[in-house]
Amino acid sequence: MRQEVFEGQCQCGAIHYRIAGVALTMFACHCTECQRQAGSAFGMALWIKQPVVEISGGTVKEWIRHMPSGKQMSCQFCPDCGTRLFHKVVGQDQVLSIKPGTLSQPRTLVPVGHIWLGSKQKWTTIDPNALQYAGNPETFDALMAAWANADFHAAAVD
Ligand SMILES: [Zn+2]
Ligand SMILES: [Zn+2]
């Protein structure tokens, strides 16, 4: 488990971020909530453990989503252009989810899995080598193990 740095920004450029932490996994979610949020066919999540977050240029705005599980999701976005940047379960500060489309460093991050395929858009083709779940996985252990075995890394910090 090594520390990496992830930098990115919102669409208008008002908010820039630099996040250091350990990447746990990256996956695509095809649930209807993510489709609506992204205004597209699916959402993506890059989970960072023990994130050290630096934000410059402005302050993100927060919207709380009440999830069916009873948990609350803090959804953070640029107040000017509305780009969604981060998700975090309220009360669980040890993991931050970055919306990886906002990353600015050139990279080739590939999702190791796809969840909520039961509601995916019919035209979306899924990599047969990726982990696949019809709904929410019971645990994310396999998604994290697949990420640990893949070779997708940002600049290491040490
Ligand atoms: Zn913006
Ligand atoms: Zn989703």
- Does the residue 102 lie in any domain? yes
Ligand nearest to the CA of 116: 2
Asked if the model's pLDDT at residue 143 lies above 60, the reply is yes
- Does the residue 71 lie in any domain? yes
- Does the residue 39 lie in any domain? yes
Longest CA–CA separation in the chain, Å: 44
- Does the residue 88 lie in any domain? yes
Asked if the model's pLDDT at residue 158 lies above 50, the reply is no
Domain count, the chain: 1
Tokens for 56?
């410059």
- Does the residue 157 lie in any domain? no
Name the residue range of residue 32's domain.
4-149
CA of 117 to the centre of ligand 1 (A): 30
As to burial, measured by CB atoms within 10 angstroms (0-12 exposed, 13-18 middle, 19+ buried), residue 128 is: exposed
- Does the residue 127 lie in any domain? yes
- Residue pLDDT, tens place only, 10-34: 999 999 999 999 999 999 999 999 9
* % of the chain surpassing 90 pLDDT: 85
Ligand nearest to the CA of 40: 2
CA of 10 to the centre of ligand 2 (A): 20
- Does the residue 87 lie in any domain? yes
CATH of the domain at 48: 3.90.1590.10
Ligand nearest to the CA of 35: 2
Residue 59: what pLDDT?
A: 96
Ligand nearest to the CA of 83: 1
